[in-house]
A and B are shown apart, each in its own frame.
Chain A
Amino acid sequence: MGDVLLKVTDLEIKAGATTIVDRVSFTLDKGRVLGLIGESGAGKSTIGLASLGHTREGLRITGGRAELNGRDILAPASAKARYLTSASVTYVAQSAAAAFNPAHRLIDQVIEATLGHKLMRRSEALARAKSLFGLLGLPDPAHFGDRYPHQASGGQLQRAMTAMALCSSPELIVFDEPTTALDVTTQIDVLAAIKHAIVKTGTAALYISHDLAVVAQVADEILVLRHGRMVERGPVERIFAAPVEVYTKHLVSLRRSEKLLTAGGGNVLLRVSGITAGYAKGVDVLNDVSFDVVRGETLAVVGESGSGKSTLARVITGLLPARSGTLQFEGKSLDPSLTRRDAPTHRNIQIVNQIPDLALNPRQTVEAILSRPLAFYFGLKGSALRAHVSTLLDQIELPSALADRYPAELSGGQKQRICIARALAADPGLIICDEPTSALDPLVADGILDLLMRLQKEAGTSYLFITHDLSIVRSIADSVVVMLGGKVVRSGGKTEVLAPPFDSYTEKLIASVPEMRPGWLDDALAGRGRPGTLER
C-alpha cells in the first residue's frame, strides 16, 4: 500500500455530555477510498467533517488526533489551520442543492476556493473547472458554469459539487451521502461519474453513506460505525464475503423476503379511473391515471420524484380535488373534495406520511395523538379509551409506557410506528403509505415493513404503498403501478410487472437499483452498454 494520507487516532467528539464519536481510529492511504457506513447518528458525518478540521455548532473535540500528512488538523481550529487544511481537503455534501449559494453562478463558486488559496490564475481555474465538468459528464461543459444553482437538476448539482471539490486538486475529498437525495436512475449515473472522476484524478476519498450497497461500488475499504463506535473494518470484498460482527452481518444480509401473493379475486376497494389533476393554474401533474386497489391487498405505486405519485395520494384523500376522472370506494363514488366527504369515508381512508417528525404534533403526547381518532370516530372515553390506546401500542410493538411521551422523546422508528397506530386507530379500509420508510435507516425500515405486513394479515387492511424503491415493492406488493411524468407506464400483478418483457423505463428502473455486491455498478453500466457515460 501507498503512504498514509490521513491518520485518525482515538478521535472523540461530544455534544454536551453525549458522545457522538467514541474513540474512532483509522488511516487512509493516498489514492484510496474508504467507505464509512452506518445508520443516522452513527457519527459518520461528524468524522467526515472532523477530517476537514471542522466541527458543527455545539460539537467539540474532546480527545484524539487527526493528522493529514502528519500535520495535526484538529489543533486549535484556528482560521490559519482551517485555511491550510481547506486547500488539501474538500467536501461534497448530501444536498448540493442546499450547499450551493443560490445567489451566485456555479462557476464562481466552483473556482472560489482555488482562487482564494491562490493556487491558480483565474483563467487556469476556469479551464480546469470546465474540464472537470466534462469529466463528470455535465452537459455543455463550456457554459454549464454560467447557470445559477436553481437552473440545474439535482444530479447535475451533485456533480458540479464534485467538480468544485476536485477543482483545487485536493489530496482528499469527503463525500457525505452524495447520492442519497437522488432518484435511483440518477443515483447510478452520479455514482458512476464520481467513481470515474476519483479514479481519473487519483484523489483519495472518504465516502460516507448509510447504504452499504452504494458504498460497495466506490470504496476499496469499509469502516462500519454504530452509535459513534467502530464496529468492523476491512476490504470491501472481505466485508461482504465474511462479515465478522453481527451488525455487519445484518447489513450485508439485508435481503427482504418476497411477499407471497395473496390468493387474488378479492373485490375492488378503491377504483381510480381517468384521474387528471394539477395544482393552482399549473400544468397537469397527473394525467389520466387509472387503477384498482383490491381489498386486503397492497398496491405499490412506484416512481421517481416528479412522477406524481404523492399528488396521487392527495387526490385520493381529497386534499387536491381532481380536474377530471372519478374515484370509487367500495363501489360508491367518492366526492373529490375532502370537506364534502362524510365521516365514515374520512375514517375509511387513512394516511402514513414519509417523515414522521412532521406527521406528529410536537405539542401532543402519544396518548393524545392516539386517543383523538378513537374519540373522534368511535366516541370512546375514559378507561375504554385508555385501554384501546395501550392495545394499539401493543399492536405496533411499543411499550405502553411511551403513552405519555412527546414525539421529540421518540426515535424515528418509534415515531413512524405511532403514525401507523394512529392510522390503525380509525380501523380504516385503506391506508395510504407515502414512502413510509424512505426516511429511516435500513434495519429500522425493515422492521416497519414487517409490521405493516403483519397488520395487513391481522386486520385485512388494504395499502396503497407509494415508493421509489423497487426492492421494497418486491417484499410488500401484490400488484404494482409504475408511474413516470404523471402517467402510468406499466401496471398489473407484481410478477408480470417486475418480469420481462420490460418497457424501457421499468427496465432502467430495475437496472438502477444497487445490488448488495461489489462490482454491481460496472456490470450495470456495461449492461447499459454505455460505460461511464451519463444523463444528458
Chain B
Amino acid sequence: MPDHTTPSSFLQPTRRQLLQNTGLLSAALSAGGLLLPEAVRAQEPVPVKGGHLVLGLDTASSSDRIDPAFYTEAYMYTVGFQLFNTVLELGPDGKLAGALAESWEAATADASTWVFKLKKGIQFHNGKELVAQDVVYSLNHHRGEKSNSGGKGQLLAVTDIKATDTHEVTVTLSAGNADFPAALVDYHMGIGPDGGDFDKGVGTGAFILEDFQPGVRALTKRNPNYWAPDRAHVDSVETIAMSDATARMAALLSGQVHIINRVEPRALSRLSARPGVQILRSQENTMFCFPMRVDTAPYDNVDLRLALKYAIDREELQRSLLVGTGAIGNDNPIASWNPFFAKDIPQRSYDADKAAFHFKRAGSPSSIQLSVSDNGFPGSVDAAQLFQASAARAGITIDVERVPSDGYWDEVWLKKPFVASNWSVRPTADAMLSLILQSDAPWNETAWKDETFDKLLADARVELDETKRRQIYHDLQVKLVDEGGELIPLFVDNIAAASDKIGGYVAVPGGGDLSGYRIAERVWLNT
C-alpha cells in the first residue's frame, strides 16, 4: 500500500473520499481550522431513517455508571447523551442553542440570576412530562457536600435553583457570570425525572436504554416521541467498549462498527488511504498537557516550570505524534479559535539554552519524574520519551515512569505531581479556566491557587463590556503562559473515523469529539 508518512501526505485524500465528504474535509482543511457551518449546510444531504448504528469507543471501564455525575470519559459521554438531554447545548456553529430550554436570559444586569424557560410537551422515557422541578432536582444532583459529581465545579457559583413556574427554572449565582448558561451544556448536566435514580438511565434523550453492561456495551433504541424531529435517525445504537486502538481500527476496517474514536494520528495516513473509510475531525478540540502541581517541589518553582516549558520540542512532538495534524500549544489552555484567544503572546519553542538557564536558576533539582500511561493522552508515552530526549539535550534529566492504563485517572492523575493529561477544550474561556485553574475547582490538576487569578476570572464573568473582558482574559493567559503549571505542547484535532455509510456528521467546536458526543442522534446510515 502507499506509504505516506510526510505530514502533508494525508492532506491529499483519495478521489472517492473527496466525493464522499467534501464538506467535512474541506472544512477540516480550511486555513484557520475553524469549522465553518456553511460548509456543512452547503451540500444539504438527505437524512436516511432506520438502521442499527454501532460505535466502537475507547475509555469504557467495567466500573462505569450511567449516572452523569460520574462521567469522566468519552465513552460514557456518548452513551449519556443518547439517554439524557441538557438544558442547553452547543450548535455546529459553536454557539449555545436551546435543548430542553426554548429560551434563557440573565434576569439581572450583573448576570447573577438566570431564567430558563423549558419547552413544553417533552416526555421522559417513562412517559412522565418534563417540568421545572425535574431540572431543579437534576442540577442539585451536582451540588452540596454529599455530591461527588464531576460537574460540581461547574455549579460552585450557584447559590440557589428554583422552579419559578411549571416550565421555568431560575438559577441564582453568588457572583454574576455572563457565561453561566454554557455550564449547563456540560455532559454531567443531564436531566432526569424528579427524585429519580440516574443509574436507571431514564431521561428525555433520543434513545431509550435497552441494555448496559459496564465496560462491555450499551444498547439503546430510538425514542419514538423524541422532541427534536430532525434528529435521531437510526432505530438503535450499540456503543461497544473497545479500549485497544488497534482493535478499534480493525473493527472499523472489517465493517463491524460504523464509527470509532481516538484514531492515532500516526495511523491516520494509512487509515484514510483505505477505501470506505472517512475521517471525522474536530479541530483543536483537545489539548494535550503535562500538568505540574505547583504546590509540590520541585514544581513549585517558576523557573523549573519555565525550564521544562523550554525543554520540550513542540514541533518535534507535533511531527511525530500528530503527524502534522492539530496545532502547537503555547502553555495556554485557550484554543486559537476561541474569540478571547490572546494572539499576541509569542509562541514559545524549544530552546536548550533558556531551558538550561532556568533549570540552573531553579537549583537543578535531581528528581523530575514524569508519570505517563497511554491514557494520559494517546501517544503520551512516546511524547514523554521525546520530551525526555530533548530535555536531556538541555541537561535536564526527566525519568519517565510508565504506569498501567487502567486506573490511571484514579491513581496517578491528581496524585502524582507531573503527569500527562488531556482536556476536551471547553466552549468558553471561562468554562475552560474555571474548570481546571480556579483555586477550588475539583479538577485543578496543577493545584493552581491564586486569589488575584480567581478574582480576575470572576470579574471577567460579570464583565459585559467586550473589550474590557478581552483584556482580562488576555492578562490571565499571559500569567498562565509565564507562570502556570500547565505545560501545553499541543492542541489536537480529535480524530474519529467512520465508514463511508455514515452521513450527517457535523463537528461541534468546543463541544468535544464526535459532534459534541451527540453523534448518535446526529448521523444516519446511508444504504
A–B proximity contact (CB within 8 A): no
Query: Which chain B residues have a beta carbon within 8 Å of chain A's beta carbons?
Result: none
List residues of chain A with CB under 8 Å of any chain B CB. Answer: none
